[in-house]
Amino acid sequence: MFVTSLELTDFRNYAEASLQLTSGVTVFVGSNGQGKTNLVEALEYLSTASSHRVSSIVPLIRAGEESAIVRARVQASADDDREILLELEIARGRANVARLNRAPLARPRDIVGMLRTVVFSPMDIAIVRGDPSDRRDWLDSLVITRWPRMVGVRQDLDRVLKQRNALLKGMAGRSFVPTGGDEEITLSVWNDQLATIGAELLHARLDTLTDVRPFAQAAYEAIAPVNNQISAEYKTSIRLDGVAEAEDVRAALKERLLEAMEESRDEEVRRGVTLIGPQRDDVTLSIGELPAKGYASHGESWSLALSLRLGGFELVRDDGVEPVLVLDDVFAELDSSRRERLAGAIGHAEQVLITAAVGSDVPDFPSERRFHVEAGTVGPSVGG
């Protein structure tokens, strides 16, 4: 799939913008703060209902306005001219409104997955150097790109954790002896919901991490000239031995989660917080024999983070979907040899959108189009 048109109203620094796009490589060049990243962020938000830059919708809406609109026309493929029109209205103080071919969808999240994107940005170095939450977010973004319904599972997990933590906080500091009372019954209900939802997300994460490893390894070998063996291992608080061989993997994972919650019950009550579940897991990344975090150089960290994103891109393609690949200000962080290797690795993508502060940082691509972005306006193509 690829985007053929993008329209913005009151999104970030754009009062109005209308842009025609094609398959292949498109480069947006502009100084920092002019709005080039805002263009690709708009497509990411339309694709995932989230942004790699902010967690709140407030910065997405132009100052002084109450709502913003992102609208894009998406073509099925270069060989299939069927198109859909996607629209998302982002509003202050009320629910977003999503539309497909101008007809409202029942829930804003129903638009997720109609456009698939894989986004890499300078912030992604946190996948390697940041907290466990950064690695969970990377893996979950890939899970949702593969199976868009998982965005609802993530939302359900957040809801259950909020309720369970509120209950535990109310019980915190007490000596909890099971008596069959209301709190025990309520905790049992939340335990079952957390285990059910957690098992579904954990199953998707484990499958996706297993599937993405070979693609990430191939991408790293293409980018890094030496010491190019990487690994990614899932780290969780529950036992995983024998789960993969179970007849019903989700049921086995749910049982392990329930067992772990029972074992941690007293500690959870004392501390007033949920200690078990996928919200506390991590992914251990290594280069060669050493863990990447704390040992990898800046260049190695960049190459690893990029390889994980490119590996995810290739995995989605292997699933039969052609996502839009977005490289947001990435080339400036790479040396010349890595730039050329990266350019070679993405040349087969159906649509690549690249942003850069300096046009010369981006290698030339055959038949590429370049646009100049300044002060919230997208100028005529430059140099192709």
Residue 340 lies in a domain: yes
Give pLDDT, residue 254: 97
**Which whole-number Å values give the CA distances from 185 to 257, 269, 352, 361, in the listed order?**
18, 14, 52, 61
Task: Inform me whether the pLDDT recorded for 383 exceeds 60.
Answer: no
Give pLDDT, residue 176: 56
Average pLDDT of 242-258? Answer: 94
Q: What is the pLDDT of residues 272-295, one digit of tens each?
A: 999 999 999 999 999 999 999 999
Give pLDDT, residue 255: 96
Domain boundaries, position 33: 1-116+322-384
**Which whole-number Å values give the CA distances from 277 to 160, 184, 200, in the listed order?**
11, 19, 11
Q: What is the pLDDT of residues 57-66, one digit of tens each?
A: 889 999 999 9
CB atoms within 10 A of CB 304: 26
d(CA 376, CA 277): 43
Three state DSSP letters for 322-351: CCEEEEECCHHHCCHHHHHHHHHHHCCCCE
Number of domains in the chain: 1
Residue 275 lies in a domain: no
CATH code of the domain covering residue 75: 3.40.50.300
Residue 378 lies in a domain: yes
Average pLDDT in the chain: 91
Residue 326 lies in a domain: yes
Token pair for residue 229? 């063996």
Average pLDDT of 68-89? Answer: 94
Give pLDDT, residue 182: 81
Give pLDDT, residue 328: 93
Using 50, 70 and 90 to split pLDDT, how confident is the model at 347? Answer: confident
Tell me what percent of the residues of the chain surpass a pLDDT of 90.
Answer: 74
Is residue 232 helix, strand or coil?
A: strand
Residue 101 lies in a domain: yes
Task: Inform me whether the pLDDT recorded for 54 exceeds 90.
Answer: no
Residue 237 lies in a domain: no
Residue 249 lies in a domain: no
Give pLDDT, residue 178: 58
Q: Strands 282-287 and 97-100: what pairing?
A: unpaired
Q: What residues contact residue 235 under an 8 Å CB cut-off, 6+ apart?
A: 281, 282, 283, 284
Alpha-helical (H) ranges within the chain are 36-48, 126-129, 132-146, 150-171, 182-223, 249-263, 265-271, 298-318, 336-346
Give pLDDT, residue 180: 59
DSSP letter assigned to residue 363: P
Using 50, 70 and 90 to split pLDDT, how confident is the model at 384? Answer: very low
Tell me what percent of the residues of the chain surpass a pLDDT of 70.
Answer: 96
Q: What is the pLDDT of residues 172-201, one digit of tens each?
A: 766 556 555 788 889 999 999 999 999 999
